Amino acid sequence: MKHVLSLSLSGLLLAGCADFALTPQGGQQASAPSSAPAASTRPPLTGAPRTVADFDRVTEEERQAAIATPTAASGAIGITVASLGDPARPGFWMETPLVSTPTRGSVLYRPTGRRLNVDLIPIDGPPSGGSRLSISAMRMLDAPLTGLPQVDVFVN
């Protein structure tokens, strides 16, 4: 009987965990440059996000800005391996040790040939360290969300 009760409680605990969902925390860092519209123009997050599309809350204007030809000449600053960044943080951005100050730049994912304009946000670490890419950028690059895609990084 003790084992049946233990299994029943374990099942209830696991069932409760299945309903756990991530909620967005804050927005972009104040120091990060951005040409993104105000958060109030983004599609609202309704309920608890459960799918990748639920987390990808950029506007059509942000998507068009991400694929536009850069207005300034771009210089390559390196190649980095990128993992998925905070999915609750909207926009097109990459946190990377390749920059020391927030700046505009772009990333190129060679397997698809896609290049996107992003906010480059500095993080601590050696230049050979990894980077974190927004969920919107990963999706528009058609990079694997659960993989570690290698991207070329440019500064505008």
pLDDT in tens, the chain (156 residues): 444 434 333 343 333 333 333 333 333 333 444 444 444 455 555 566 567 776 766 778 888 878 888 766 678 999 999 999 998 899 999 999 999 999 999 999 999 999 999 999 999 999 889 999 999 999 999 999 999 999 999 998
Tally of structural domains, the chain: 1
Is residue 134 situated within a structural domain?
yes
Is residue 90 situated within a structural domain?
yes
Is residue 21 situated within a structural domain?
no
Is residue 69 situated within a structural domain?
yes
Yes or no: say if 96 and 80 are a contact pair by the CB < 8 Å rule. yes
Q: What element of type H or E holds 12?
A: helix 2-18
pLDDT at residue number 62: 80
Angstrom distance (rounded) from CA 45 to CA 124: 31
Is residue 97 situated within a structural domain?
yes
Name which of 25, 23, 129, 15 is nearest 83 in CA terms: 129
Show the domain range for 122: 51-156
**CATH code, domain with 153:** 2.40.40.10
pLDDT at residue number 151: 97
Is residue 20 situated within a structural domain?
no
